[in-house]
Amino acid sequence: MNDLDYKILFVCMGNISRSPTAEAVFLKKLTAQKVLHKVKVDSAGTHNFHPNSPPDERSQRHALNRGYDLSSLRARSVVASDFEEFDLLLTMDWDNRTLLEERCPAPHQAKIRGLAEFLQTTQSTVIPDPDHAGEQGFEHVLDLIEESSDGLLKWVMQKVAP
């Protein structure tokens, strides 16, 4: 494959906690595997609640405690060109997925999947919104994102390995 030939977009509702966390975690995993030059990673929200805002302070704090820096990321909403540009659009929950599927042109529907599909041992169909679950909610989201990112990395490596 050519450089940056595989492109992944992580999607949650407002693009201030789950999807930027997934972006940062996955970028670090790609870097560790020395394949960052082959994969583009971005994040966006189904809603434009927080345009150009940094990630939620709690998400940043919990992520930084595990070595992930979210401070340079900024919220944006999904735009029509994302469906064409990205090879995989990974949603955090069923609401995000439904909203994307409603907006996605038919030829690109198969690109939409849930990040939780890549969990390896934990049984969950979604990466839940941590906003109302207190501090432990942010830790739980990080646990799920780290585990699903490991599964996603195995899958992506099959696509970009020489």
| Tokens at 106, concatenated | 């038919």
Residues tagged active-site = 12, 18, 129
What pLDDT sits at residue 161? 75
- Grouping H, G, I as helix, E, B as strand and the rest as coil, residue 124 is coil
pLDDT in tens, the chain (162 residues): 445 689 999 999 999 999 999 999 999 999 999 999 999 999 999 999 999 999 999 999 999 999 999 999 999 999 999 999 999 999 999 999 999 999 999 999 999 999 999 999 999 999 999 988 889 999 999 999 999 999 999 999 998 876
Which helix or strand (DSSP H or E) is residue 7 part of?
A: strand 6-12
Residue partners of 26: CB distance under 8 A and separation at least 6: 8, 10, 41, 149, 152, 153
- Grouping H, G, I as helix, E, B as strand and the rest as coil, residue 28 is helix
Residue partners of 29: CB distance under 8 A and separation at least 6: 149, 150, 153
What pLDDT sits at residue 162? 67
Instruction: Specify which residues 155 forms β-bridges with.
Output: none
What pLDDT sits at residue 1? 41
Single-letter code of the amino acid located at 69: D
What pLDDT sits at residue 4? 67
Domains, the chain: 6-160 (3.40.50.2300)
- Grouping H, G, I as helix, E, B as strand and the rest as coil, residue 113 is strand
What pLDDT sits at residue 23? 98
- What is the separation, in whole angstroms, between the first and last Cα of the chain? 8
